[in-house]
Amino acid sequence: MHELPVINTILNIVLDRARENRVTEIKTIFLKIGALSDLEEEWMQRYFAYLSRGTPAASARLAIERTPARVQCRTCGHCFELDLQSSETETCQSCGHNTYALVSGTGYYLESIEAVEPGQPS
């Protein structure tokens, strides 16, 4: 259920941009979601469909791309992607140590919006 406030926030941003640009119809909302995020695409789509009813985004679809988890080695500072499919402990490709800090992979952001331009047919 934690997807609901996230989707509400995203929808409000999208609708604000639509008003600013006099957009009448939003086609696609492109989102980047970190690989370690526990946001579930199915619930995001369901909540979006519910919350967007009666708005210019009512027929829009969410295009969700998962972004990799990135870490930074605490020993040498090298950044690299975690292999989330592996059951082995990751080691730095640069120095071989296995102590690192998470840099990205848990967040989300709105990348872009595809909309019908004012005065254009949908």
Q: What is the domain range of residue 42? A: 3-116
Q: Does a structural domain hold residue 58?
A: yes
Domain count, the chain: 1
Q: Does a structural domain hold residue 110?
A: yes
Give the pLDDT score at 120: 66
Q: Does a structural domain hold residue 25?
A: yes
Q: Does a structural domain hold residue 82?
A: yes
Distance CA 67, CA 113 (A): 18
13-67 residue pLDDT tens: 999 999 999 999 999 999 999 999 999 999 999 999 999 999 999 999 999 999 9
Q: Does a structural domain hold residue 11?
A: yes
Q: Could you tell me the maximum CA-CA distance found in the chain, to the nearest angstrom?
A: 58
Q: Does a structural domain hold residue 122?
A: no
Q: Does a structural domain hold residue 107?
A: yes
Give the pLDDT score at 89: 82
Q: What is the CATH number of the domain that holds 18?
A: 3.30.2320.80
% of residues, the chain, pLDDT over 70: 95
Q: Does a structural domain hold residue 31?
A: yes
**14, 20, 26, 30: CA torsion to nearest 10:** -40
